[in-house]
Amino acid sequence: MTRANIEINKIGKILKGDNENYYILIKEDFENTGGYLIYVSEDLNFKSGNGFDYWVEKLENLVGFFEESKWEIKWNIK
């Protein structure tokens, strides 16, 4: 996984890996948390309440998180 495979502020669908068939959204949140917020939801609109959120501090941590999750993502779903 490289930075080129990770889209910021775009919704994607997890095709393979942890949370398969869920949706994902990555937000830069340097102003508030100093890192990246990772939202994962079974609902395309992220409103079902059936999902997760994660935080990582740096881009290299974000890349590592993706590798550990074994995610294959199709971006620009919405």
Query: What Å distances lie between residue 17 and 4, 25, 28, 31, CA to CA?
Result: 18, 16, 23, 30
Instruction: Establish if 39 belongs to a structural domain.
Output: yes
DSSP per-residue string spanning 9-42: S-EEEEEESTTTT-EEEEEEETTTTSEEEEEEES
Domain residues for 66?
Answer: 10-74
Instruction: Establish if 30 belongs to a structural domain.
Output: yes
Query: What Å distances lie between residue 53 and 25, 50, 58, 68, CA to CA?
Result: 10, 11, 16, 16
Q: pLDDT digit string (tens) for 14-66?
A: 999 999 999 999 999 999 999 999 999 999 999 888 899 999 999 999 999 99
Instruction: Establish if 3 belongs to a structural domain.
Output: no
Domain total for the chain?
1
Instruction: Establish if 4 belongs to a structural domain.
Output: no
The answer to whether 63 touches 40, Cβ cutoff 8 Å, is no
pTM to 2 decimals? 0.89
